[in-house]
Structures are given as C-alpha cells and as structure tokens.
Amino acid sequence: MNRKIKCVLLIDDDEPTNFINEIILKRTGQVESIVAVQSGMAALEYLNNVNSDENTRPELIFLDINMPGISGWDFLEEYKKLPHHQKAKNVIVMLTTSLNPDDDEKAKTFQEISEYHSKPLTYEKINDIIKKHFSDR
C-alpha cells in the first residue's frame, strides 16, 4: 500500500471501545489520523467543520448503532443532509454489538453504509475493508 487512509472517524459512546479501536487502527500502519468521538452529535459537529484547519474529512467512518441521544440510525439521517464536501469520501462501516437481525436488514436500506460488522474490530476486518474499499492504495 503506497498511500495511507488520511483520516478515520470512530463514532461510539463507549470510550474503551474507541480506545481499543484506535490502537488496532494505529497498529495496522495504514491510517494517518484517527478521530474518536462519543456521540452522533459530536460526529456531526466534527463533520460540519471539515473545512477548518483542524478537521480533516474522514475517508472511513466506523459507526455504532446504540448510542444515547443520537443513535447511529439518527446520525445517518442527519448525515444524509450534509453537503457533499462535509461527508466522508465514501466508506461508512456500521460496527455494533447488536444481535438484532433487523438492524442488519435496516443497514441494507442505507446507501451510505458500505458494510455492517459485529464488534470487536479486528485486524482481519480492517484489512478486508481496506482491500475492498481502498484497493487503489
């Protein structure tokens, strides 16, 4: 891989999960920067400021479903309304502990969702996602 993923956005209300996912992503050596937020609202605020010097537009987003306040589903509804320049370039991965098969089916109704995976995030999952969605690297 010649070029790294410039920015990954982790959206999960569980701080330890974000911490572990950050470590795993860093250890792959395939990511330049990682932004972790603990709510859908914080993620939307981040994306609303991608043009600022501080906020890089993510190329990859990992999104939890079950979060207080704004759920992953609510985030996606608001995400759809964002101008194109504020959105991730193309890859949103729903990463969840949900065992409800309805969630998997619902995820298929969102064109914004590239993949749906159960937690935990693993090296294998990351490598598969990179091979599938970032093969130009």
Per-residue confidence (pLDDT) for residue 83, from 0 to 100: 87
pLDDT in tens, 18-62: 999 999 999 999 999 999 999 999 999 999 888 766 788 999 999
Domains of the chain: 5-133 (3.40.50.2300)
Per-residue confidence (pLDDT) for residue 1, from 0 to 100: 46
Entry pTM: 0.92
pLDDT in tens, 55-108: 889 999 999 999 999 999 999 999 999 988 777 677 999 999 988 889 999 999
pLDDT in tens, 98-137: 888 899 999 999 999 999 999 999 999 999 999 999 987 6
Tokens for 75, please give them: 């985030």
CA atoms within 13 A on the CB side of 75: 35
